[in-house]
C-alpha cells in the first residue's frame, strides 16, 4: 500500500467508514511508515481533542447549566407576558381608530346645509362592552327629541 492510499484509509477510519477487513492492511502499512503513523495519530486525535475542548467549557459552566430549566422557564413566562400584552394591544387597537373616525365624521357633519332638518345639536361617541370580546362603537346624534345613531360598528369581534 502506498502512502496516498494509506492517507485515504486513515481519513476513512477517522470517519468510521473504513471496512473492518481493510483495517489490518492499513495497520500493516502504519507499522513500517513513521510519516503515516504521525498522520494517523493527528487525524485520530481531532475528535477526542475537540471533545476535550468542549468538555472544558461544559465543566466551567456546569452550575449555570444545572439551572437551565429555571432560565428557560423564566424566558417562557416572559414570552407569554409579551404575547399577552401585544395581543391585548392588537385586540383593542381598532377602538381608538374607530373613535377617531367618529370624531372626524362629527367635524365634517354638514351643518347649515339643506340637510339641516336633521342637524344635531350635540353628539355622543359611545363605546360599549369593552370587557367582553366584542365591542360596539357608535356616533350618536342626541338631537332635540330622540337620539339618532349616525354611525355604528356593532358587536365587532375584537
Partner 1 sequence: MNEREKGGVPDDALIRTTLAGDDGAFGELVERYKGRAFAVAVGIVGDGDVALDVVQDSFIKAYYKLKEFRFGSNFYTWFYRLLVNQAIDRWRKSARSMEVPFDESWLSEDASPPDSFAYPRSPEDLARDRELGDALQRAVDALPEYHRAVIVLREVDGMAYDEIARVLGCSVGTVMSRLHYARGKLKESLKSHRDR
d(CA 10, CA 27): 10
Nearest to 124 by CA among 145, 151, 93, 97: 151
* 79 near partner 1, judged by CB under 8 A: yes
Class of residue 106 by CB neighbours under 10 A (exposed 0-12, middle 13-18, buried 19+)? middle
Q: What are the φ/ψ torsions at residue 135 (nearest 5 degrees)?
A: -145, 155
Instruction: For the CB of residue 23, give the shortest distance to partner 1 in the complex, in Å.
Output: 18
Find the binder of partner 1 among 21, 34, 59, 132 (CB under 8 A): 59
Beta strands at 134-141 and 123-128: parallel, antiparallel or unpaired: antiparallel
Site for partner 1 in 31-50 (CB under 8 A): 38-39, 41-50
3-class state of residue 88 by DSSP? helix
Instruction: For the CB of residue 17, give the shortest distance to partner 1 in the complex, in Å.
Output: 9
**Selected range binding partner 1 among 20-28, 51-59, 91-99, 106-114, rule: CB under 8 A:** 51-59
The C-alpha angle 141, 147, 152, rounded to 5 degrees, equals: 60
Instruction: For the CB of residue 6, give the shortest distance to partner 1 in the complex, in Å.
Output: 15
* 104 near partner 1, judged by CB under 8 A: no
Number of residues interacting with partner 1: please give it, by CB under 8 A: 36
Positions touching partner 1 (CB under 8 A) are: 11, 14-15, 38-39, 41-61, 64-65, 68-69, 71-73, 75-76, 79
Amino acid at each position: 500500500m502506498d502512502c496516498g492510499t494509506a492517507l485515504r484509509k486513515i481519513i476513512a477510519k477517522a470517519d468510521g467508514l473504513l471496512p473492518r477487513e481493510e483495517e489490518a492492511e492499513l495497520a500493516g502499512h502504519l507499522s513500517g511508515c513513521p510519516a503515516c503513523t504521525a498522520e494517523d495519530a493527528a487525524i485520530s486525535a481531532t475528535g477526542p481533542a475537540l471533545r476535550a475542548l468542549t468538555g472544558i467549557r461544559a465543566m466551567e459552566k456546569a452550575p449555570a447549566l444545572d439551572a437551565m430549566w429555571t432560565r428557560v422557564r423564566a424566558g417562557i413566562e416572559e414570552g407569554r407576558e409579551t404575547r399577552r400584552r401585544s395581543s391585548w394591544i392588537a385586540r383593542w387597537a381598532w377602538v381608538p381608530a374607530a373613535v377617531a373616525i367618529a370624531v372626524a365624521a362629527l367635524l365634517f357633519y354638514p351643518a347649515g346645509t339643506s340637510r339641516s332638518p336633521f342637524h344635531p345639536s350635540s353628539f355622543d361617541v359611545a363605546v360599549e362592552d369593552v370587557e367582553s370580546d366584542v365591542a360596539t362603537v357608535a356616533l350618536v346624534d342626541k338631537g332635540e327629541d330622540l337620539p339618532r345613531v349616525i354611525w355604528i360598528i356593532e358587536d365587532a369581534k375584537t
